[in-house]
């Protein structure tokens, strides 16, 4: 090889190295930010973004470069730690991060638990986005209802005109409850009603269901059971007890809040993958908080 050719080869290698460096820099400069992720969510929910909503950044900033996204039902400290360990620095959570639906923290500013969680998020440069109102408003179907239906394999039972209603060929209440327990991997679940009641029609209100609209849901003609996540025991539970005592053949299944919407955030992860391809997206399940005395567990 001549000196000229050697110099030329060195020049080409140096040029290639410079080009590669510039490419890396360009890619870094164009890194997807949390704000851009949220903008894409807004563009794909199928409804106008509400002026008043809890769907906001709760921790971190919109300018934070996103390395990976974790979706979860509830951004507990356990979930936050697992997301960080998995290299996901943006968490999209359906429920609150700081112990109230509105994520108001005024009463926690000197609270040890709040400060510990906030410190962990800040040290790990994490962003948490609350995605509640617009997931329920997702078109063409409420994202939580879609995910729960998919997880249970109940698509064939769903009323196409009403995503809350399911029609079964006739199944005993105890058997239906067992199916829910098994498919959703529930440790603690409560049922009100006759175990032998034959269920032909069910209404589902995933998550929290207050007295209203709980009463209209369970009072619909033909509805045998209302399936919910949680409610006030002195309101809706008492009402259903009185329905049964008055001679009506009705029932109530209380799954627990987390497990009753969990699969909606599993669906959310798949939905996000349809328009976010730059970073990995993973569903991280929030642990069911309760355990039974005959089956004690540690989360």
Tens of each residue's pLDDT in the chain, 299 residues: 444 555 555 544 455 555 444 444 444 447 999 999 999 999 999 999 999 999 999 999 999 999 999 999 999 999 999 999 999 999 999 999 999 999 999 999 999 999 999 999 999 999 999 999 999 999 999 999 999 999 999 999 999 999 999 999 999 999 999 999 999 999 999 999 999 999 999 999 999 999 999 999 999 999 999 999 999 999 999 999 999 999 999 999 999 999 999 999 999 999 999 999 999 999 999 999 999 999 998 77
CB 180 within 8 A of CB 253: yes
For residue 36, the model assigns a pLDDT of 98
For residue 21, the model assigns a pLDDT of 44
Sheet containing 281-283: order of strands: 57-59, 127-130, 90-93, 69-72, 281-283
Instruction: Provide the 10 A C-beta neighbour count for residue 196.
Output: 9
The C-alpha torsion from 136 through 176 and 230 to 110, rounded to 10°, is -90
Phi, psi of 254 (to 5 degrees): -110, 105
In angstroms, the Cα distances linking 84 to 101, 135, 192, 273 are: 23, 24, 40, 20
3-class SS of residue 58 = strand
For residue 15, the model assigns a pLDDT of 53
Burial of 38 (0-12, 13-18, 19+ CB in 10 A): buried
For residue 203, the model assigns a pLDDT of 98
pTM: 0.89
Burial of 236 (0-12, 13-18, 19+ CB in 10 A): buried
Distance between CA atoms of 183 and 178, rounded to whole angstroms?
Answer: 9
Q: Does domain 34-138+262-283 have CATH number 3.40.1390.30?
A: yes
3-class SS of residue 80 = helix
- For domain 152-255, which CATH number applies: 3.40.50.10490, 3.30.56.10, 3.40.50.720, 3.40.1390.30? 3.40.1390.30
Question: Percent helix, strand, coil in the chain (nearest 5)?
Answer: 45, 20, 35
Tokens of 86: 């998995």
For residue 26, the model assigns a pLDDT of 42
For residue 196, the model assigns a pLDDT of 98
């Amino acid at each position: 090889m001549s000196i000229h050719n050697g110099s030329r080869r060195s020049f080409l290698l140096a040029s290639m190295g410079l080009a590669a460096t510039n490419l890396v820099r360009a890619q870094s400069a164009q890194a997807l930010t949390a704000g851009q992720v949220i903008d894409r969510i807004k563009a794909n929910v199928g409804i106008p973004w509400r002026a008043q909503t809890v769907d906001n950044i709760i921790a971190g900033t919109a300018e934070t470069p996103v390395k990976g996204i974790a979706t979860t039902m509830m951004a507990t400290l356990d979930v936050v730690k697992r997301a960080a360990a998995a290299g996901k620095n943006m968490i999209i959570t359906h429920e609150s991060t700081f112990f109230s639906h509105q994520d108001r923290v005024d009463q926690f500013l000197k609270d040890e638990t709040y400060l510990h969680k906030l410190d962990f998020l800040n040290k790990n440069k994490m962003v948490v986005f609350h995605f509640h109102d617009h997931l329920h408003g997702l078109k063409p179907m409420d994202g939580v209802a879609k995910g729960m239906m998919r997880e249970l394999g109940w698509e064939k039972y769903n009323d196409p005109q009403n995503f809350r209603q399911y029609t079964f060929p006739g199944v005993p209440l105890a058997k239906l409850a067992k199916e829910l327990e098994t498919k959703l991997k529930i440790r603690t679940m409560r049922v009100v009603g006759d175990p032998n009641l034959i269920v032909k029609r069910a209404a589902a209100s995933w998550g929290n269901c207050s007295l209203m609209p709980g009463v209209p849901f369970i009072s619909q003609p033909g509805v045998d059971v209302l399936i919910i996540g949680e409610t006030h025991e002195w309101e809706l539970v008492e009402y259903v007890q009185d329905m049964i005592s008055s001679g009506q053949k009705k029932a109530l299944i209380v799954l627990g809040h987390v497990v009753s919407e969990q699969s909606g955030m599993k669906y959310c992860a798949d939905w996000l993958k349809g328009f976010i391809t730059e970073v990995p997206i993973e569903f991280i399940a929030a642990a069911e908080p309760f355990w039974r005395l005959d089956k004690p567990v540690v989360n």
